[in-house]
Amino acid sequence: MADVPMPSRSNPSIAALLLDHSTTGIALVEGDGMVFAYVNEAFQAIAPDRPMLGRGFEAVWPEVAAQFLPVLRQVRATLVPVELEDVRADVRRRLEGPLEEAWWNVTMKALPPRGGEPPAIAIHTVDRTAAVRLRRQAELMQAEQERLREAERAARGAELVAEAIPQLVWTCGPSGETEWLNQRWRDYTGLTPGPQAGDPWRAVLHEHDAPRWLNRWMTAVRSGLPVDLEARLKAADGSFRWHLLRAVPLRDEGDRVVKWFGTATEIEEQRRTRDAAELARRREADARQRAEDASFAAAQRAAELDAVLDSIADGLVISNRENEFERANDTALRLLGELPPGSDWLQRFVAHDEQGREVPGGQLPPVRALRGEVVHGEELRLEPRAGRGAPTWLSVSAAPIRDDRGAIRGVVTTFGDITRLRELQERQSDLLRAISHDLRTPLTVILTQAQMLQRKPDDAATVVRRAESVRTSAQRMAAMIEDLVDLVRLEAGLVKLTPRAVPLAPFATELRDRLRGTLAVERLRLEVPDALPAASADPPRLERILVNLITNALKYSPPESETTLSGAVVDGQVQLTVADHGPGIPADEVDRVFERFYRSPSATRKEGLGLGLYITRLLVEAHGGQIRVESEVGRGSAFHVLLPRAVAAEVEA
Ligand code: ADP
């Protein structure tokens, strides 16, 4: 201390030292531009990288110039010092830095004037920023505490009210810990938990409800949302009573939860009446559900059964103990027609056995099954008693349906449609009859004529007539035998074709010439264009095809009517058509005339085996061709034969 001389006005160097190192920022400004003539360390430290000496106030402190320049001028003009306390003046502490919040104590004082010069002004600054901030924080904290105290008082007020109300009331801290429980709570539970008693709810909540409440309560504490739940609370006497537990958060201005208020309202009565209603409702709903389930299961089983039944190709009918119709699959309904449930379905038909005898009701397969018999594949011809519908041949099986105890509770009857099969069988026996008849007829003619020729010498004309008769009969027999032989060989795949190019116009002309004398070819008009491309065909087989069609055309049409054989190119192939003005073929038979042994039941009976068109089709198909018929009843028929065109190699050969 001895080294440091006491400051004194007479020692300018000490005064300068004190000025320079003072913690108060000191500066001197002078002239109109308020140019800095002096700044001490502390003043420079406000903005260390800012050059100040020799520069005007505005240039040095642009951010606060508007605030302080007028005051400085005022001080210079009036010579009255100005002291500003804790004035806010935000400054840039670094040149390019941000404006920073700052508070200052600033004193501006004019120095004693020297001569006539306007006085310089001394500026003293003390940075109050830290102090002001501290003070502000303290103020804020105080306000906060005041608010808390206020809330506390309010809560306490609420608690006082809560003490009085008949509900159980409690409060919890923001993180859920129980703080306070009202008198009613203590009365109800018989518990007086001390501060260290742990969670008072553990002893009170029913063990079934505790986890649920805890779960909901924790979620509420986390989310800050109100919560309620019905739970059983244990009373002092050990009984449990239903309560509605509800907790709502109390928030401060910052929206933070500061407290939870909880209430528990007894709802034992409501619960009981509601439970009774609920129980009744639930029982009813259960019953309804069970009924729905059952009917659903039943419907599902029925649907499954229907699906199974419908997937069976045979007809299937299920009937009950009285043999009344219960259900059937699609095939059965198609074969038997619509059957109303509960109807005596067996009454709707007359059944005949293979011998054509009517089967009495008691002998029908379903009736026998009802007596315990299992019937397999009985062939019956069923004819509807009323209404239309063709008789059908059915192969009928029937078996009893037995319940768990073996009692018969119904019958399942299945049947396959064997009408076509029976028809074929019938046609085959028809064929045998036809063969024996049709072959025998010309044979009888031949035998009779031959005998006549032998017995007595006739005149020449009669001999010629008899010989002619023998020849045509023999020819017809030969044709029939040929049909039968062809049939066997074609079906056995023994017919090998040797196709070659057949120019159709000359072929048709030659064919007609050859048939003269055998068929009434004068009724046949040829319309095969000379330019028609050659077909690829086996000539003898092509001849059979055309002869069959022409024979039918002449046979089935009136003797005076005309028939035509025409040709055309269709789809790049050659088509030959034999058309007549005969009776035509009914639409439902058109597809069947090419079947084996098919003879139209509607046509007037003519000699024939029902093989001609069948063989014709097989021959056309063996050529790789197609045959079809266009026909209109009463107008006539046109049989179209489509054949492949001859290829170049065939034409040259
Ligand atoms: P069929 O020996 O009876 O003539 P087809 O196989 O040649 O045998 O003919 C089968 C059936 O087709 C005949 O019974 C007849 O009813 C019918 N049919 C064939 N051709 C004609 C036609 N041109 N006009 C009308 N019906 C025909």
Residue 576, burial from CB neighbour count under 10 angstroms (0-12, 13-18, 19+): buried
Q: Are residues 88 and 182 in the same domain?
A: no
- The pLDDT assigned to 45 comes to 92
CATH number of the domain bearing residue 44: 3.30.450.20
Distance in Å, CA 515 to ligand 1 centroid: 20
- Structure tokens, 494: 């023994």
Which helix (H) or strand (E) element contains residue 202?
Answer: none
Q: Are residues 165 and 256 in the same domain?
A: yes
Top mutation candidate among 550, 600, 620, 641 for ligand 1, by most atoms within 8 Å of CB? 600
Per the domain annotation, does 44 fall within a domain?
A: yes
> What is the residue with the minimal CA distance to atom 12 of ligand 1?
593
Q: Are residues 430 and 467 in the same domain?
A: yes
Per the domain annotation, does 6 fall within a domain?
A: no
CB distance 603 to ligand 1 below 6 Å: yes
Residue in the block written with tokens 């000699």? 607
Per the domain annotation, does 145 fall within a domain?
A: no
Q: Are residues 209 and 342 in the same domain?
A: no
Mean confidence (pLDDT) of the chain = 84
Q: Are residues 400 and 430 in the same domain?
A: no
CATH number of the domain bearing residue 561: 3.30.565.10
What's 341-376 look like in SS3?
Answer: CCCCHHHHEEEECCCCCECCHHHCHHHHHHCCCCEE
Residue in the block written with tokens 């009669």? 462
Distance in Å, CA 263 to ligand 1 centroid: 102
CATH number of the domain bearing residue 467: 1.10.287
Per the domain annotation, does 154 fall within a domain?
A: no
SS3 label, residue 240: strand
Distance in Å, CA 613 to ligand 1 centroid: 7
Confidence of residue 159 (pLDDT cuts 50, 70, 90): low
Q: Are residues 535 and 615 in the same domain?
A: yes
Q: Which atom of ligand 1 lies at the shortest distance from residue 600's CA?
A: 16
- The pLDDT assigned to 63 comes to 93
- The pLDDT assigned to 2 comes to 42
- The pLDDT assigned to 1 comes to 42
Q: Which domain holds residue 70?
A: 14-132
Q: Are residues 454 and 326 in the same domain?
A: no
* 551-570 pLDDT tens trace: 999 999 999 999 999 999 99
Per the domain annotation, does 277 fall within a domain?
A: no
Handedness of CA 575, 578, 581, 582 (dihedral sign): negative
CB distance 613 to ligand 1 below 6 Å: yes
CB distance 552 to ligand 1 below 6 Å: yes
> What is the residue with the minimal CA distance to atom 20 of ligand 1?
552
Integer-rounded Cα radius of gyration of the chain: 62
Q: Are residues 517 and 629 in the same domain?
A: yes
State the amino acid at position 132 in one-letter form: V
Q: Which residues contact 235 (CB under 8 A, 6 or more apart)?
A: 188, 189, 190, 241
Q: Which atom of ligand 1 lies at the shortest distance from residue 594's CA?
A: 6
Is pLDDT at 5 greater than 60 in this prediction?
A: no
CA distance 251 to 266: 27
- pTM for the full predicted model: 0.41
Q: In this predicted model, which residue has the larger pLDDT, 382 or 436? A: 382
CA distance 633 to 535: 31
In total, how many domains does the chain have?
5
CB distance 580 to ligand 1 below 6 Å: yes
- Structure tokens, 500: 């070659």
CB distance 582 to ligand 1 below 6 Å: yes
Per the domain annotation, does 646 fall within a domain?
A: yes
* 299-326 pLDDT tens trace: 666 666 566 666 666 778 888 888 888 8
- Structure tokens, 213: 């409440």
- The pLDDT assigned to 565 comes to 97
Per the domain annotation, does 149 fall within a domain?
A: no
Q: Are residues 520 and 613 in the same domain?
A: yes
CA distance 556 to 313: 39
- Structure tokens, 372: 């315990």
Q: Are residues 637 and 512 in the same domain?
A: yes
CA distance 370 to 530: 74
- The pLDDT assigned to 294 comes to 65
Distance in Å, CA 605 to ligand 1 centroid: 10
Q: Are residues 604 and 621 in the same domain?
A: yes
Last residue of a domain, one of 467, 491, 515: 491
How far lies 276's CA from each of 209, 273, 284, in Å?
A: 20, 5, 12
State the amino acid at position 561 in one-letter form: S
> What is the residue with the minimal CA distance to atom 14 of ligand 1?
599
